[in-house]
Structure 1
Amino acid sequence: MSEREATETAAATGATAAAPGGPPRDPAHDPAPEPSGASAVPGDAHDTVEAAVRAQLSKALGGVRGMIEAAVPTIGFTATYVASKDIKLAVGVGIGAAVVLLVLRVAQRTSVQFVLNSLVGIAIAAFFALRSGKAEDAFLPGIMLNAGYAAAMIFSIVVRWPIVGFIIGSVTGDPTAWRSDPGIVRLCSRLTWLLVLPCALRVAVQYPIYLASGDQSGLLGPAKIVMGWPLQVAALATMVWLLARGRTPLPAGEDADEPESA
């Protein structure tokens, strides 16, 4: 058989000539070429600002359970004090509720972050109330904290570094790249205003009650509960509605793992 005939016979049987100096290669066993543009991005990668903010806010607040855990100790403290007028008993119930929630988290081997936040908050409130002997003083740290949050977020908007923008930075891997896009800065400013609103409303309603003469804990307790997680949920629902209306691409090229929006 001539060399040419041998070559044609090998091709007919599906064998492929090897490169000089290399072993024979069978196309049937070669891996399929990876399609162009294939991405190793996980299925939950975010390609828009809106998707990234929704995911990060949910993570930051701990979802529905996290918000409920933040409210339960306050509800226990307020209800107990209104019923008994005993500060020490009310403090004990509030801290006890936080400890029970913490034990449940530990038993379920889930994150204790949000319960610890609640426990620290009720402990600070208890310190203020026990030190003065006035139940309404338990609500003063929360009023001060909301005033501080509101002031800090408003300042961030005024200087065009809105707090929500850093959520974008945490996703793209570059904490400041989002500022190069005016559209993203405007979106983050609007979202930050929605976070300011609950804080400002709490201060505007609760601080005058706190300053009023007499024991105001019977009013402050319900005001804190109603203006706590329900008001926060309303603000977040508005944010979700706003985010659902747009598809602002994440800053292109800042994170190799993030796909560009179509």
Structure 2
Amino acid sequence: MAEPGTGEQSSPHETSPHQSFSTGSETHAAEHATPDTVEAVVRGQLAKALGGRRGMVEAAVPTLLFTATWLLLHELRLALTVSIAAAVLLLLVRLVQRSTIQYVANALVGIGIGWLFVHLAASRGGDEEAQALAYFLPGLIYNGVYAVGLGLSAVLRWPLVGFMVGSVTGEPTAWRDDPQVVSLCSRLTWLLAVPCVVRVVIQVPIWLAATAGAIEASTAIGILGVLKVVLGWPLQLAALASMVWVLGRNSTPVQPRQA
């Protein structure tokens, strides 16, 4: 889940917990002290987890190339090869520049899992269109599982965002002693879940309709390829903007308040 910075990743000591999530400017202030508010902790943790504009490109390019190649040539293996080659090229550039390979590696893992699903579809006798549809299935499963996991963690009052706070304070569950912190982290966790829910609600019916033959597989593949990009970073940024708005409203101490 991700936010634009500069595309270059700072080390944990170089990332300001007050870094802007919208300007894309790189922070140069070193923060060695542990943030004293939950809002600062979450802002800092989100900043470290996001790939910046460059991360957005590295995530989108392989999918765009796969979709474009398939739509133009209807050659599944070529489409997969082109997407993998693009990801490998981006990885080599990262290695030469000695910058983080995390986001390119994530893209490669996603392509690899997609290829596995394509192979499974082929082994079951599916034609190239069925195999191309299978390529998008892991993303749908991932978003569904992630949405359920985030929602359950918030409902059970063990919101996932709370563990971001615990990872900084060194006490993984101490944040649960303060109901105000639990409430804030629950709201933020729900906001993280929204993009996943939207992707599932929009994309799954298209995938199922194509699988059932209700719409042309080629049409569905094109739509799914575009939606994977459109509902990726833009939707994630909208959710993160909402989180930043919530984080800017209050100042919740990291340490539980004394009775």
TM-score range (shorter-chain normalised) is 0.7 to 0.9
TM-score by length of 1: 0.77
C-alpha distance 68-45 of structure 1, shift in aligned 2 (>3 A): farther
Partner of 2:231: 227
Partner of 1:181: 178
Contact 1:72/1:97 (8 A) holds in 2 = yes
User: Matches of residues 20-35 of structure 1 in structure 2 within 5 Å?
Assistant: none
Q: Secondary structure at the match of 2:160?
A: coil
Contact 1:47/1:250 (8 A) holds in 2 = yes
Indicate which of 143, 147, 150 corresponds to 1:146: 143
Contact 1:98/1:118 (8 A) holds in 2 = yes
Partner of 2:196: 199
How many Å apart are 1:42 and its aligned residue? 4.9
Q: Does 1:208 align with 2:197?
A: no
Where do 5+ consecutive residues of structure 2 fail to align?
Answer: 1-29, 122-127
Please list the CA deviations of residues 88-146 of structure 1 after superposition, one character each: whole Å capped at 9, or x if unmatched: 11101111111011101111111111211110101111232344332111110000010
How many Å apart are 1:159 and its aligned residue? 1.0
CA distance in 1, matches of 2:54, 2:181: 30
Q: Secondary structure at the match of 2:159?
A: coil
Contact 1:61/1:67 (8 A) holds in 2 = no
Q: Does 1:46 align with 2:22?
A: no
CA distance in 2, matches of 1:98, 1:115: 6
Residue type of the alignment partner of 1:57: L
Partner of 1:73: 62
Indicate which of 41, 47, 52 corresponds to 1:63: 52
Partner of 2:117: 128
Partner of 1:93: 82
CA distance in 2, matches of 1:183, 1:138: 43
How many Å apart are 1:43 and its aligned residue? 5.1
Contact 1:87/1:130 (8 A) holds in 2 = no
Contact 1:143/1:207 (8 A) holds in 2 = yes
Q: Secondary structure at the match of 1:164?
A: helix
Residue type of the alignment partner of 2:222: G
TM-score by length of 2: 0.78
Residue type of the alignment partner of 2:144: A
Contact 2:34/2:168 (8 A) holds in 1 = no
Partner of 2:187: 190
Cα RMSD after superposing both structures: 1.7
Contact 2:58/2:104 (8 A) holds in 1 = yes
Contact 2:87/2:107 (8 A) holds in 1 = yes
User: Matches of residues 247-258 of structure 1 in structure 2 within 5 Å?
Assistant: 247-251=251-255
Moved more, 160-169 or 236-245: 236-245
Residue type of the alignment partner of 2:132: A
Contact 1:147/1:203 (8 A) holds in 2 = yes
How many Å apart are 1:242 and its aligned residue? 1.3
Contact 2:175/2:255 (8 A) holds in 1 = yes
Residue type of the alignment partner of 2:207: Y
Identity rate, percent: 54
Partner of 1:34: none
Residue type of the alignment partner of 1:179: R
Q: Secondary structure at the match of 1:245?
A: coil
Contact 2:153/2:160 (8 A) holds in 1 = yes
Tell me how many residue pairs correspond in the alignment: 213
Contact 1:102/1:116 (8 A) holds in 2 = yes
Partner of 1:170: 167
CA distance in 2, matches of 1:252, 1:159: 20
Give the greater-gyration-radius structure (CA).
1
